[in-house]
């Protein structure tokens, strides 16, 4: 019974209806094993999120939980198997002509891996010229030069004259990621999906890149879906932008709240385990001493193709009882702005 009745409450991030996921699920069919049998991966299941203009949603979760799939849905690159993606209140599938172009321009994706997202045969100039030309911001290369120098300046790749005719292999990881960010910014988006943009760069440079992105939020009102697997970065980004953190587990959002609430008053056992596994930098030492590590039953995330009845976390949860094995808990708002999907939370 419970398996069929799926009503997860909508997570509201900011106000307004800039972009909205209405009960979105994404399933992939894959072939596995010697017999190449077909399995279904439920990458996302019943995701309900409404994000307002100039708002920030940070997604955190372990590898394979569906973070990139969610980012691709929001950017319009992955059609939902079920449910709808809405842009300013309209189903994206119904958008035509100018409205569809406006959607594609307004939401830009910056990838995890700057090594593969920048074409190695093109110079920085050409990489930034293509979108400017495509979206009609410039007519020709002469006109583009000044704009590209300005863009490089804005992402702090300076002096710009020194970088503009370089190829990606002549840039450091951090510089490549800034060029990828400049490419996204070149079309004047309202919202950026930043998929693990800090993972591939040196730890010492991560804060700088996050600060730069936060500057764009402050100065130009750009909203973000900021994806990371580290709770410490999630907290940093969300706290400085007044954002919400959503914790994902096997294709579901299991908890969502503003950063301080989530970290100092976590409700879901999985969030508690993530916090316990995050080193000291996350919180004051006195706070940390009060927390006892949660003994999980298993450290392994179940295979994405394995069907788990009931709560998807029941194979690892130390509190799982009969109900958790039978019935999947739905995400619900337990206090204003704090959402959790757990039967044990009253
Ligand atoms: N195109 C695809 N075809 C088949 N399976 C896919 C496809 N894309 C993603 N998946 C599967 O969907 C699940 C979610 O993948 P996704 O890339 O969204 O996770 P993620 O949280 O971004 O992981 P990571 O932290 O490793 O980047 C995984 O089990 C993955 O193997
Ligand atoms: Mg990913």
From first to last of its 346 residues, what are the pLDDT tens digits of the chain?
A: 444 556 779 999 999 889 999 999 999 998 888 888 888 999 999 999 999 999 999 999 999 999 999 999 999 999 999 999 999 999 999 999 999 999 999 999 998 877 778 999 999 999 999 999 999 999 999 999 999 999 999 999 999 999 999 999 999 989 999 999 999 999 999 999 999 999 888 888 889 999 999 999 999 999 999 999 999 899 999 999 999 999 999 999 999 999 999 998 999 999 999 988 886 545 554 554 565 666 677 667 788 788 899 999 999 999 999 999 999 999 999 999 999 999 999 8
Ligand 1 atom index nearest CA of 30: 4
Ligand nearest to the CA of 229: 1
> Ligand 1 centre and the CA of 66: distance in Å?
6
> Ligand 1 centre and the CA of 306: distance in Å?
14
86, 10 Cβ separation under 8 angstroms: no
Measured by CA distance, the residue closest to atom 25 of ligand 1 is 63
* Segments of the chain assigned E as strands: 11-13, 19-32, 37-51, 56-60, 82-87, 90-91, 107-110, 191-195, 223-228, 244-249, 252-257, 332-335, 338-340
> Ligand 1 centre and the CA of 43: distance in Å?
6
All structural domains of the chain with their residue ranges: 11-121+167-340
Determine the residue of 69, 74, 225, 227 to mutate for testing ligand 1's pocket, defined as the one with the most ligand atoms within 8 A of the Cβ atom. 69
Query: What is the reported pLDDT for 276?
Result: 84
Measured by CA distance, the residue closest to atom 16 of ligand 1 is 66
What fold is seen in the domain 11-121+167-340? Answer: Rossmann fold (3.40.50)
Helices (H) and strands (E) in the chain, counts: 13, 13
Ligand 1 atom index nearest CA of 70: 18
Identify the CA nearest to 21 among candidates 188, 197, 253, 242: 253
Q: How far apart are CA 133 and CA 234, in angstroms?
A: 35
Query: What is the reported pLDDT for 203?
Result: 81
Strand partners of residue 19: 51, 87
> Ligand 2 centre and the CA of 140: distance in Å?
36
> Ligand 1 centre and the CA of 70: distance in Å?
10
CA 249-194-238 angle, 5° bins: 70
Distance of CA 90 to the CA centre of its chain: 22
Ligand 1 pocket, 66 CB below 6 A? yes
Ligand 1 atom index nearest CA of 62: 25
Query: What is the reported pLDDT for 307?
Result: 86
Ligand 1 pocket, 49 CB below 6 A? no
Q: How many CB atoms lie within 10 A of CB 187?
A: 16
Residue 205, Cβ density class (10 Å: 0-12 exposed, 13-18 middle, ≥19 buried): middle
Query: What is the reported pLDDT for 169?
Result: 93
Ligand 1 pocket, 252 CB below 6 A? no
SS3 state of residue 203: helix
Q: How many CB atoms lie within 10 A of CB 238?
A: 25
Ligand 1 atom index nearest CA of 305: 29
Identify the CA nearest to 247 among candidates 238, 237, 236, 257: 257
Ligand 1 pocket, 68 CB below 6 A? yes
């Amino acid at each position: 019974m419970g398996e069929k009745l799926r009503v997860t409450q909508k997570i509201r991030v900011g106000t307004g209806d800039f972009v909205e996921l209405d009960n979105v699920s994404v399933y992939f069919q894959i072939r596995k094993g010697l017999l190449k049998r077909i399995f279904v991966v439920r990458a996302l299941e019943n995701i309900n999120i409404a994000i307002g203009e100039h708002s920030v949603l940070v997604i955190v979760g372990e590898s394979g939980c569906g973070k990139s799939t969610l980012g691709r849905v929001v950017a319009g690159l992955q059609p939902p198997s079920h449910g709808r993606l809405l842009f300013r209140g309209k189903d994206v599938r119904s958008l035509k002509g100018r409205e569809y172009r406006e959607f594609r321009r307004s939401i830009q994706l910056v990838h995890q891996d700057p090594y593969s997202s920048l074409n190695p045969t093109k110079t920085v100039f050409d990489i930034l010229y293509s979108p400017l030309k495509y979206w009609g911001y410039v007519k020709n290369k002469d006109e583009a030069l000044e704009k590209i120098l300005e863009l490089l300046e804005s992402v702090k790749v300076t002096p710009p004259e020194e970088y503009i005719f370089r190829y990606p292999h002549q840039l450091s990881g951090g510089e490549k990621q800034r060029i990828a960010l400049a490419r996204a910014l070149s079309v004047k988006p309202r919202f950026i999906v930043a998929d693990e943009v800090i993972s591939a760069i040196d730890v010492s440079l991560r804060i700088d890149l996050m600060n730069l992105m936060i500057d764009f939020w402050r100065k130009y009102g750009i909203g973000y879906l900021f994806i990371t697997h580290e709770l410490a970065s999630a907290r940093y980004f969300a706290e400085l932008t007044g954002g919400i953190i959503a914790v994902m587990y096997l294709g579901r959002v299991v908890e969502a709240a503003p950063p301080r609430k989530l970290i100092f008053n976590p409700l879901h056992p999985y969030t508690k385990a993530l916090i316990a596994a995050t080193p000291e930098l996350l919180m004051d030492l006195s706070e940390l001493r009060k927390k006892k590590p949660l003994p999980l039953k298993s450290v392994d995330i179940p295979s994405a193709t394995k069907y788990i009845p009931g709560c998807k976390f029941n194979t690892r949860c130390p509190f799982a009882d009969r109900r958790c094995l039978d019935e999947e808990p739905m995400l619900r708002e337990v206090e204003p702005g704090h959402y959790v999907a757990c039967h044990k939370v009253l």
